[in-house]
Structure 1
Amino acid sequence: MMDSVSYKLKFAILGALIVPCFGRLALHGTGSETDFYRYFVPLFIGGLTGYLIGLMRDIWVATNEDLKMTNKVLQKEINQHIQTEQSLRENEKQKKAILDASIDSIRLVDNEMRIIWANKIIEKQLGKDRKKIIGNYCYGAYTGRNEPCPNCPTEKSRKSGKIEFSILCEENVKGIEGKTYWSDYTVPIKNESGKIENFIQVSRNITDLKNAEKALANARKQWETTFDAMSDWVCVINKDHEITQSNKACEALINLSPDQVVGKHCYEIVHSMDVPILGCPLEKAIKTNRLESMEFKTGDNRWLQVTVDPIKIGTNNDRFVHIVRDITEAKERENEI
C-alpha cells in the first residue's frame, strides 16, 4: 500500500515539475500569458498526469501479479490433471495385463450379445486377432451358430437380472477339435435405473477336468466291480470299528446286504457283541500299524479268518481293510489229516 502511494506521489511531483515547463514554452509566444495560466494550470495538469501515470502503473502491476498467480494455479491444475491421466493409464495397463494373463476367456458384450471387448486368450482359442472378433455375436464367434447356445447363461441372466452359471457341452467350437466342456458365468451390468446394458461373460475350458472325472468314474466302477467280485467279505472300517464301505460278499457270508452293514460296528456283525472281542485284530493293527489276523469258530460251527490291514496314506492311518474269509473247509481238511 505504501509503495503504491509513494509511486503515485513521485509521478505527481515529477509531472508538476515537467509539464509546466512545456506549458510555459507552449504559451510563451501567444501574447496571452497570465499568472493563472503561467503557474496554476500547468501545475495542476502536471500533477494530474503524474497521478494518472502512477495509477496506471499500479493497475498494470496488480494485473501482472494476478496473471502470475492465475498462471501458477492453472499450471498446478494442469500438472495434477496430467498426473491423474498418467495414473489412470497405468491402472488401465495393469488391469489389461491382469485380464490378458487370465486362463479364462473374459468378454464384455452388449445386450444383444455382440462382443465389445475380449481378453487375449480368445485369440488363442479362436485363432483370430481380437480386433476381428469385436462386433461379432459371441455364439457366432465361438460356434458359428445363428442363435444363442443351448442353456446359455447370458440368456438366463437377461431374464433373471442375476449372475447365472452353466456347464456347456460343445462339439463345434472353432479352432478346437472334438467335444469340449465349458464352465460359463454371466454377470449383468446395470445402469442407475436398473436396466441391463451389458454383460460380462467368463468362460473356462474344463474339458480336461471333465475327461479326468470320467476316467476317475470308470476307474471307480472297475474297482467296485472287482471289489464285489471277490468271494471274501471285504470292508473298510475306521478306528472306532465302524464299517464305512462293504462289498457284496457279505450277503453270502452273513446274509446281510452292504447297505445293512455300513454304519454298524464290525464286532456287532461278526461276533454279535457290544464291545470288541479279546485279541481283536483291529486293536492290534492300530498299535502295530501292520497287518494283523485271527481265526475263530462261530456259533454255527464255521471257521472264519479275520484280517485287518492299515490303509497307509501319509502318517495318518485311520482306515483299515477288514477281510473275513470262510476257512471251514480248510480246517476240516486239517482235522482229517
Structure 2
Amino acid sequence: MNEMLALLNQHPTLLAMWGALALHWLLPVPASIHPLHTWQQIAVQLALRVNKDTDTPRQRTLSGALAWATMWLTVLILLVAFYQLVWFDSLFHLVLLWVALGWKESRRFSQQFIQAYSREDKNSCREQLALALNRKTDNLSLLGLGKACAETQLLSYGRQVAAVLFWFAIAGGFGAILYRLAVSLARCWSPSRSQYRYFGLPAVRVLAALDIVPLRLLAIVVSLGKNSQAAFRGLREQGEHWQLPGPGWLLTATGHKLQLALGGPAIYDTSKMERPRLGGRIAPAALHLSQIDSLLQQRLWCWVAMQSLLMFLMGSLL
C-alpha cells in the first residue's frame, strides 16, 4: 500500500487530472458564477470600445489581434503571479482544469436536446441551440435542428473535453484554462456576426491553430472500431473540405462512421453561408443523436485512459 501511494505521489499532474475530473462530475461550476461567463462579458464590452465601424477592415483586424492579446496575456500574467503564492502545485493545476472542463455541461445539453427532439418540440430545440450557436435558429426545420445539434455535440465534446485535456497534458492547468479562454473569445467575436467580420478573425485563427492536433486526434479515436474503413476513407476524401481543419476532421469522421449527413448551408445573421456537405446521406434523428452522444462518451473515456497511461509513462521516465 505504501509503495502504491509513493508511486502515485511521483505523478502529481496525473493525480491532478483525475482529481479535476472527479470534482467536475461531482461538483461542476454553475454557469451563473462560472469565470468564463464574466470573461465573455468583458470581451463584449472591450469590443464595443475598440471595434469601430469607421475603421478599415485592416484596422479592425489589427484591433482584434491587439484586443485578443491584451485579454489573453493579462490572464496569463495573473496566473503566473498567483502561481508564485501557491503551496501545492498540484492543487493549483487541479482547480484550473476543474474550471476549464465542460464535460458535464456538454452531456446535459445533449441529453436535454435529444429529449426535446424526440418529442419534435421545435421551440425547445431552437431555444437550446440559440444558447450554443452563433447561428439563427428561429426558422430551422427538424432536419436542420438535428444537423445543428449533431455538429454542436461533436464540437462541444471536442473542445470542452478532449482539447482541454490535451492542453492540460502539454502545459498543465495553464494550458487547459488558456485554451478555454481562447475558445470563448472566438465564440464572442465570431466573424459570422457582421460586427465582428474582421475584428474576430485573429481569435478564430488562433483557435484554429490550437484545435488542429487535439481535434484531429479525437477524429482518429472516433474513427476506430466499427465502420473504421468508411470513416478513414471519408477523412481522405473530405477531411480538408471544411473551413477549419480541426473541426472538419471530427465532423467528417463521425459523419462517415455513422453515415450521417452533416454540414450544408447555414444562416448567420441575415447571410446564408454555403458550407461543405460532409458524411453520409442519413438525416440525423433522435436515435442518431443518441448514438453520437454514446460514441463520444465512450471515446472520451478511452482518451482519458490513453492520456493517463502516457502521462504515467512520461512521468516515470523523467
TM range (shorter): under 0.3
Q: Structure 1 or 2: larger strand share?
A: 1
Over alpha carbons, which structure has the higher Rg? 1
Higher RCO structure (Cα 8 Å, ≥6 apart): 2
TM-score by length of 2: 0.17
TM-score by length of 1: 0.16
